[in-house]
């Protein structure tokens, strides 16, 4: 398969691209670096990306971020940025990719553990992590038979916790998280699912 990994230079995206590279043709996309460039906040840039990359069989989105701050410090701009980048960015990915992807292909979005297991300071991120889960399930219904749609929910990643100077022992290595994305891409029966990466590893 030809697989486009958006965010393919990041912690999770690199691991996903590496895991898929042995058996698939992988194109890594980011705003800088990677094989091709796009910003998920821009539908025009995504249109150009997918038109250039077509034909392709799968898109994996491992991009998008949000603001992590206590509720009383989150500004309107923090909410707008989080909604625009992590949530609408991935909505843009699905809406534009669906026009160009091969029949029977798959689109995988990313949510995150903070959607269902919040912590103080995660208000904006919990909001924009929950969004892709609802959107992905609904989009899968409408695209059933043409394109599969799933959402991977990663837990805290060990490498990210280390980079933040936190104890990484409660996290999952990115290479393990990547297995959930590989399942979404390769399991042709899977659609409309929110895949908890912890469940894939412990199965």
Ligand X SMILES: NC(=O)c1ccc[n+]([C@@H]2O[C@H](COP(=O)([O-])OP(=O)(O)OC[C@H]3O[C@@H](n4cnc5c(N)ncnc54)[C@H](OP(=O)(O)O)[C@@H]3O)[C@@H](O)[C@H]2O)c1
Residue 87 contacts ligand X per CB under 6 A:
no
Q: Is 113 in the site for ligand X (CB under 6 A)?
A: yes
Distance in Å, CB of 177 to ligand X, minimum: 8
- Rule CB under 6 A: is residue 65 a binding residue for ligand X? yes
Residue from 20, 26, 59, 63 in contact with ligand X (CB under 6 A): 63
Give the single-character DSSP code of 8: T
Site string for ligand X, 13-42 (x = CB under 6 A): x----------------xxxx----xxxx-
Q: Which of 156, 183, 185, 193 binds ligand X (CB under 6 A)?
A: 156
In angstroms, rounded to a whole number, what is the distance separating the alpha carbons of residues 126 and 108?
19
Cross-strand partners of 153: 196
Is 59 a binder of ligand X (CB under 6 A)?
no
Task: State the nearest-atom distance from the C-beta of 32 to ligand X, in Å.
Answer: 4
* CA angle (116, 201, 56) in 5-degree steps: 85
Q: Give the one residue of 58, 87, 89, 133 binding ligand X; rule: CB under 6 A.
A: 89
Task: Candidates 20, 58, 67, 85: give the one binding ligand X (CB under 6 A).
Answer: 85
Question: Do 155 and 174 touch, CB atoms closer than 8 A?
Answer: no
Cβ pair 83, 28 in contact under 8 A: no
The full DSSP string for 34-75 is SSEE--TT-HHHHHHHHHHH-S-SEEEE---------GGG--
Closest approach of ligand X to the CB of residue 141, in Å: 23
Binding of residue 136 to ligand X (CB under 6 A): no
The length of the chain is 203
Distance of alpha carbon 65 from alpha carbon 61, whole angstroms: 12
116 binds ligand X (CB under 6 A): no
The SS3 assignment for 76 reads: helix
Which residue ranges make up the site for ligand X (CB under 6 A)? 6-13, 30-33, 38-41, 62-65, 85-86, 89, 110, 112-113, 154, 156-157, 160
């Amino acid at each position: 398969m030809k697989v486009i990994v958006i965010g393919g230079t990041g912690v999770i995206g690199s691991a996903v691209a590496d895991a898929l590279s042995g058996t698939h043709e992988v194109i890594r996309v980011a705003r800088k670096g990677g094989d091709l460039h796009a910003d998920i906040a821009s539908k025009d840039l995504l249109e150009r990306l997918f038109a250039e990359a077509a034909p392709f069989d799968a898109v994996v989105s491992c991009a998008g971020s949000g603001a992590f701050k206590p509720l009383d410090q989150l500004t309107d701009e923090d909410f707008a940025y989080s909604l625009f980048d992590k949530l609408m960015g991935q909505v843009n990915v699905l809406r534009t990719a669906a026009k160009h992807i091969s029949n029977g292909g798959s689109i995988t979005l990313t949510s995150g553990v903070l959607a269902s297991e919040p912590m103080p300071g995660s208000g904006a991120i919990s909001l924009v992590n929950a969004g892709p889960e609802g959107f992905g399930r609904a989009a899968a219904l409408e695209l059933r038979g043409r394109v599969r749609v799933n959402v991977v929910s990663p837990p805290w990643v060990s490498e990210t916790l280390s980079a933040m100077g936190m104890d990484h022992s409660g996290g999952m290595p990115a290479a393990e998280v990547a297995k959930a994305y590989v399942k979404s891409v390769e399991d042709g029966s899977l659609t409309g699912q929110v895949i908890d990466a912890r469940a894939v590893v412990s199965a």
